[in-house]
Chain A
Amino acid sequence: GAVVSQHPSWVICKSGTSVKIECRSLDFQATTMFWYRQFPKQSLMLMATSNEGSKATYEQGVEKDKFLINHASLTLSTLTVTSAHPEDSSFYICSTLPRGQGSYNEQFFGPGTRLTVL
């Protein structure tokens, strides 16, 4: 499968600060990347779909001004949590959809970023 990295793997920040999380596809070009959030003991919830060179598409209930997504290249997407609050503490996971995928779409996931807001 495809290799996806995330940085940082964990981050602790103070309330009110902004945090940037990077998602990189290491061995392929990714036209589309997805950002998920996962709370303890729960499944993944899609936050937004990031398309290279265009604006991200956010899921209902996700504030686009709070969760800024930039997909400036075919190998990098970033998620910035602005003015983070304790309720934003979660496990953030990205996934990629390799370019030129076959007849069905398989997403490959990064290792996740644990965000803790104090």
Chain B
Amino acid sequence: TQLLEQSPQFLSIQEGENLTVYCNSSSVFSSLQWYRQEPGEGPVLLVTVVTGGEVKKLKRLTFQFGDARKDSSLHITAAQPGDTGLYLCAGEETSGSRLTFGEGTQLTVNP
């Protein structure tokens, strides 16, 4: 099983601040997905990055896949209280369709 380290685990910031969440591994992934999960609900897919060096933007969210496809980052600009939630990265293993999840980042944006 490939491992994926996600940091930070907890993040509490003020509205308007920027933040970055990191996912790192020593293994190569076929693709990497970012999810957001609300309490009591299943994860919702935000984006999938596939190509090394790829950058995708989703409004105020910017996702990057490392050149070697071993790491990824999520950057949120001007965070809003509505961004509060658990952010999960998940790497698709090269050996099949299984996903390896990071530990998650619990983000709280205070008004």
A residues neighboring B (CB under 8 Å): 1, 4, 6, 32, 34, 41-46, 49, 91, 93, 95, 97, 103-112, 114
Contacts and interface: CB of A to CB of B under 8 A. Distances in A.
Nearest to B89: A43
Given A104-B31, A106-B33, A43 B101 contact: yes
A107 B31 CA distance: 12
A112 B41 contact: yes
Contacts of A106: 33, 45, 48
Contacts of B45: 1, 106-109
A107 B99 contact: yes
Contacts of A41: 106
Q: How would you classify the secondary structure of chain A's contact residues: helix, strand, loop or mixed?
A: strand
Contacts of A49: 98
Nearest to A101: B97
Contact of B44 (A97, A103, A109): A109
B102 A43 contact: yes
A109 B106 contact: no
Nearest to A6: B42
A-B pairs with the 10 shortest C-beta distances? A109-B42, A104-B31, A105-B97, A43-B104, A43-B101, A112-B42, A111-B42, A44-B101, A109-B43, A43-B103
A42 B103 contact: yes
Contact of A46 (B40, B48, B99, B106): B99
A105 B98 CA distance: 9
Contacts of A109: 35, 42-45
Contacts of A110: 42
Contacts of B104: 42-43
A71 to B, nearest CB: 15
A53 to B, nearest CB: 17
A85 B44 CA distance: 29
